Structure 1
């Protein structure tokens, strides 16, 4: 990635209380450690908390969900062992509402639609393939999209997921001829300058698992001319 990635000094924290911290992930950050050995966002958040609260020793942080490395937007972490299983339960029961924004070159067949596919992951190339009928080892994937803005050369889509599958949005949009801008893996013809893809976890809403208050958090868009044009 050519851009400066997150560190504890430039971390964009969107919400924090005793049990939860929500950050705006930059493109290129990995949420959890992987074979690359790059410092994950989880470690950066731990460093931020240790410095902010002058904590000595290990800082507890639970990873609730992940975003693909080239994407941006909202990531929730648990600060307590009490909140982590409750947050996990919210994701499993689909009681967390997540909205994504995606920029695509080609106009979708309909202004809004529900896409239903069966996705099969190939672990060798870390890529999923969409099928219109169930096949062996495939998982059903459902999303809802709508065109919310026509740009000069692109379309801004808003997407809501019913399921959470590997590369689901990327795979399903590519299947209808609408690969996400910059997503070479799923058919876009050129990369973004910073190696990101134009997919952003924009909004999340849920009932706090401990305080029971309703949280509605929106992640600011990346600093980029095309994302600037998406502001509504």
Structure 2
């Protein structure tokens, strides 16, 4: 499948950049890396952008450190050197790579804050994930902390600190807890309408800089559209 020309690539806001790291706001509905659709993906778009901005000949290196699901937007970090890629990947493995999200979920959780711990199994054939029991072959532990920030119109704004990076983790765990994400067709089809955009946003990525070791925090705010627009987002600035 042929790709669109670089001129038609969507603009990607840059949040942080130096010689080692590139932090951006990922637009919704763009894959983190190339997939079977052949649609423009973050790696391809950003490599082309770096090539043009710095007039670089040949291939541009850019390392994928973590992923966001295609319908999810927000803060995302890439490595501009192989050394940075290796050190940031180690930060992810050692859980010194901080990932914070905000979501709009259906209903109001009974507890204003808590921790969800589940065993998740991914069915590669259907690209779906479900909660299963311990001891299930191929299942992996998933851990997240959540805090309910606000509630209005039958939905809640929830801040999520992700401690593991399992596929579809936030979507599956919150749906299993009885609070599927607004707009999530895959894990909340009974309460969502076709065509709604999933309300999940990466608001913060934090990590030790791969060279200077300085603590870096890259932040991105959700767009001012429904359902985000029914909440006061000023509270997110203090997280």
* TM-score, normalization by structure 2: 0.89
Task: State the partner residue of 2:225.
Answer: 224
Deviation at 1:225, TM superposition (A): 3.3
Task: State the partner residue of 2:14.
Answer: 13
Aligned partners of 2:185 and 2:194 also within 8 Å = no
Task: State the partner residue of 1:150.
Answer: 151
Aligned partners of 1:181 and 1:191 also within 8 Å = no
Deviation at 1:163, TM superposition (A): 1.4
Task: State the partner residue of 1:72.
Answer: 73
1:128-167 equivalences under 5 Å are 128-131=129-132, 133-167=134-168
Identify unmatched segments of 5+ residues in structure 2.
Answer: 1-6, 235-239
Aligned partners of 2:108 and 2:151 also within 8 Å = no
Q: CA 1:7–1:164 in 2, change beyond 3 Å: closer, same or farther?
A: farther
SS at match of 1:36: coil
- d(CA) in 2 for partners of 1:7, 1:81: 29
**Aligned Cα RMSD in Å?**
1.8
User: After the TM superposition, which segments of 4 or more aligned residues of structure 1 sit over 3 Å from their partners?
Assistant: 6-9
- d(CA) in 2 for partners of 1:45, 1:196: 24
Deviation at 1:104, TM superposition (A): 0.7
Deviation at 1:133, TM superposition (A): 4.0
Task: State the partner residue of 1:190.
Answer: 192
* TM-score, normalization by structure 1: 0.91
Q: CA 1:88–1:99 in 2, change beyond 3 Å: closer, same or farther?
A: same
Deviation at 1:8, TM superposition (A): 5.5
Aligned partners of 1:134 and 1:140 also within 8 Å = no
Moved more, 132-141 or 104-113: 132-141
Deviation at 1:134, TM superposition (A): 4.0
Task: State the partner residue of 2:3.
Answer: none
Q: CA 1:77–1:84 in 2, change beyond 3 Å: closer, same or farther?
A: same
Task: State the partner residue of 1:63.
Answer: 64
Q: How many residue pairs are counted as aligned between the two chains?
A: 226
Task: State the partner residue of 2:4.
Answer: none
- d(CA) in 1 for partners of 2:207, 2:86: 15
